Amino acid sequence: MNPKWASPTARLLVGLAVTLAAVAVFSFYTLHQIDGLEDLQTRIVDRNRKGSLQLLRVQNDVHALGLAMRDMLDGNEPYPLEAWKGQFTRIRKDLEDALNIEASLAPGGRDPERQAYLAQLLAQFWNTTDRMFSLASGGQTEAARALIRDSLGAQQAALTSTVARILVANNEAEQQAAQQIQNIYARVERNIYYFVAAMLVTILLTSLYLIHSNRRLFESLAALSGQKSDLARKLITVQEEALRSISRELHDEFGQILTAVGAMLQRAERRGLPAESPFRIELHEVQVVAQETLEKIRSLSQVLHPAILDDCGLEKALDWYLPIFEKQTGITVQYEKQGISPVIADRVAIHVYRVLQEALNNLARHSKSPLAWVRVRFSPETLQLEVEDRGVGLPAEVSGRRGIGMVAMRERAELLRGRIAFLRPAAGGTLVRLEIPLAETNGHGA
């Protein structure tokens, strides 16, 4: 498998690209549908509505003509027929204006024959009207009324029926447009549901893939962490065994050799040599050097691995080490001990001792504090160790040997299945707190 595709990042980027492309396509589709909807509303619905208003205006004018013709036929008015000509002229102008506006708003789907038929009816009606007023002005009133009764009435009725049919057609077109708009809304809504469902499925699949990848990653990290812990346990164990072996070799082998050399020098000094003899003086100097070397080797042996820790346990080792630390550094240590120490396994005691040793060494190198507190609290279940000072405190970033020392302390705490914390007390300085469960570590320690 290509290493590039072994990482989930590449697949996630491809999934993101596909998702963005789907969003872009759906957005374009939705905008296209909305543009079509706006065009439909503008082109059909709004125009039909305005056209219907003009048709109502035409219908009202035709109805007004019908009322005028009825009054002209009744003869109840004292006016001659020619007196109605002005009203007919005003209605004709308004009717022509309304029809011109309606023609500009008429939908493209209207039957042109119906429009031509309406224009033909209007032309016939106005021709008949002109003939009627011509007869009336010539004194032929009865002939004019007969023309109204026989021709104009039928033509006005035909106009009314035609305008009504056109108005119905407009209403039907408007209803169809409204239905198309509803269909578009429903289609867009349905597609939105599909899109949301697809996005949810995509998110679900991506989340499941992320969970699977993260689980594999965490399993790998857990395996690496376990390997690291095993390696740290083995390294620390090997280190402590090496230090123990070197300490014993120094104490036993070299210590015995230097002790034997000192004894031999003492016997040689007692062989009746004069007190002022240069050879006796040189023997004494060699004896002093051998004794100092012996003491240094014993001291180095204790530093590498204190024998008192194996012989007397952790509590005695602390009682022995703290005065030595005070003497070497000049830092006063206030030692507080609570509880009765239970039996602590050697493999546990050495880690606690090393944590104390590293914490005090860090304190001596970095804290600039003349005073330190060491607190040990024993209980059947837990052991708690605290090392505190009132120095400069922990820096913002720990690096170098100081950082390595802290890492080593953390590793030892993990090996003991315990917890270690590096705190800044309210009074200033640094507090190192180690807490380990004795019941587990005594039985399963590193």
pLDDT tens for residues 147-160? 888 888 888 888 88
Question: If 0-12 CB within 10 Å is exposed, 13-18 middle and 19+ buried, where does residue 223 land?
Answer: exposed
The mean pLDDT of the chain is 80
Which stretch of 53-57, 122-126, 180-184, 385-389 has the lowest confidence by average pLDDT? 180-184
Please state, in angstroms and rounded to a whole number, the distance separating the CA atoms of residues 64 and 403: 104
Residue 234 DSSP one-character state: H
Question: Which pTM was predicted?
Answer: 0.49
Non-local CB neighbours of 286 within 8 Å, separated by 6+ positions: 265
The domains located in the chain, with CATH, are 3-211 (1.20.120.1730), 306-444 (3.30.565.10)
Residue 3 has a pLDDT of 47
Query: Per-residue pLDDT for 184 more than 80?
Result: no
Q: What is the mean pLDDT of residues 73-87?
A: 81
> How many C-beta neighbours within 10 Å does residue 309 have?
21
Amino acid letter for position 289: V
What DSSP assignment string belongs to 247-316?
A: HHIIIIIIHHHHHHHHHHHHHHHTSS--TT-HHHHHHHHHHHHHHHHHHHHHHHHHHHS-HHHHHH-HHH
Q: Are 51 and 105 in contact (CB under 8 A)?
A: yes
Residue 438 has a CB neighbour count (10 Å cut-off) of: 22
Q: What is the pLDDT of residues 305-332, one digit of tens each?
A: 777 877 888 888 888 889 989 998 999 9
- 199: tokens are 């996005």
Q: Are 57 and 98 in contact (CB under 8 A)?
A: yes
Highest mean pLDDT among 29-33, 58-62, 217-221: 58-62
pLDDT for res 208:
83
- Alpha-carbon distance of 7 to 323, in angstroms, equals 57
- Give me the pLDDT at residue 252, please: 63
- Band of the pLDDT at 50, cuts 50, 70, 90? confident
Among the listed residues 397, 411, 76, 360, the one whose alpha carbon sits nearest the alpha carbon of residue 231:
411
351, with CB counted inside 10 A (0-12, 13-18, 19+), is buried
Distance from C-alpha of 214 to C-alpha of 86, rounded to nearest angstrom:
92
Which amino acid type is present at position 148? I
Confidence of residue 446 (pLDDT cuts 50, 70, 90): very low
Confidence of residue 400 (pLDDT cuts 50, 70, 90): very low
Identify the band that residue 334 occupies on the pLDDT scale cut at 50, 70 and 90.
very high
Q: What is the mean pLDDT of residues 266-274?
A: 67
